[in-house]
């Protein structure tokens, strides 16, 4: 808010379902959260809509941009390409056998009532027309940079990937100079006619 408010942007920050102060105890990794974010966007009366999110927030932002025409740009930090892949990779790092990971994903589908494969920013990226800035730390051990690279390859519109040196998961937006890069990208990618 301190950075973008003085530049004339209204800033809306919210907690996704089952996170922070929001209600709910189950997360669907973007499948239902994209509709939640669309409801937030519907409360905005004018001006550009630039979505900024990290990790799960990045996944929700991309999945929302695929279905919400008002989105003018997306900044996605440390996004996973799809839930099945990232869950399997993280499970293997914890020495879980593949059958345990598969069973956990199947139980999540049953308990949450959604198709795990629907939580797919890489699939959503194929439908995003707004410009997208991807950020990923080159030392991210939780979500490999290959996830952002797969999303980058799937995007058909304007896209940029910045690898941030020396940082891990959920650290790119705290790295020195990154917010300046984000601001320059917004200036260059969100046209002045979109700005109030």
88 occurs within a structural domain: no
Identify the residue with better confidence: 20 or 181.
181
56 occurs within a structural domain: yes
User: pLDDT per residue over 131-183, tens digit each?
Assistant: 999 999 999 999 999 999 999 999 999 999 999 999 999 999 999 999 999 99
158 occurs within a structural domain: yes
Stated pTM of the model:
0.90
What's the rounded Cα separation, in Å, for the pair 37 and 49? Answer: 11
Structural domains counted in the chain: 1
183 occurs within a structural domain: yes
66 occurs within a structural domain: yes
Side-chain-side CA neighbours of 133 within 13 Å: the count stands at: 25
113 occurs within a structural domain: no
108 occurs within a structural domain: no
User: pLDDT per residue over 45-91, tens digit each?
Assistant: 887 899 999 999 999 999 999 999 999 999 999 999 999 999 999 98
Residue 193 has pLDDT above 80, yes or no: no
Query: How many CB atoms within 10 Å of residue 37?
Result: 25
Q: 149: domain CATH number?
A: 3.40.50.1820
The answer to whether 65 and 124 have CB atoms below 8 angstroms apart is: yes
Domain range for 131 is 26-41+51-82+119-190
Packed helices 56-65 and 33-42: angle between N→C axes, nearest 10 degrees: 70
Identify the residue with better confidence: 139 or 95.
139
């Amino acid at each position: 808010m301190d950075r973008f408010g003085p530049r004339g942007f209204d800033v809306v920050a919210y907690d996704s379902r089952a996170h922070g102060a929001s209600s709910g105890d189950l997360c669907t990794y973007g499948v239902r959260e994209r509709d939640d974010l669309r409801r937030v966007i519907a409360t905005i009366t004018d001006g550009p809509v630039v979505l900024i999110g990290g990790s799960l927030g990045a996944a929700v932002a991309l999945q929302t941009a695929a279905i919400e025409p008002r989105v003018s740009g997306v900044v996605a930090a440390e996004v996973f390409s799809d839930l099945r892949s990232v869950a399997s990779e993280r499970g293997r790092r914890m020495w879980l056998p593949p059958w345990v990971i598969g069973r956990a994903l199947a139980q999540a589908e049953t308990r949450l009532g959604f198709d795990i494969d629907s939580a797919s920013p890489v699939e959503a990226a194929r439908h995003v027309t707004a410009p997208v800035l991807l950020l990923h730390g080159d030392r991210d051990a939780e979500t490999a940079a290959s996830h952002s690279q797969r999303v980058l390859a799937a995007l058909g519109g304007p896209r940029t990937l910045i690898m941030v040196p020396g940082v891990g998961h959920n650290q790119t937006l705290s790295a020195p100079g990154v917010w300046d890069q984000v601001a320059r990208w917004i200036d260059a990618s969100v046209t002045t006619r979109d700005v109030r």
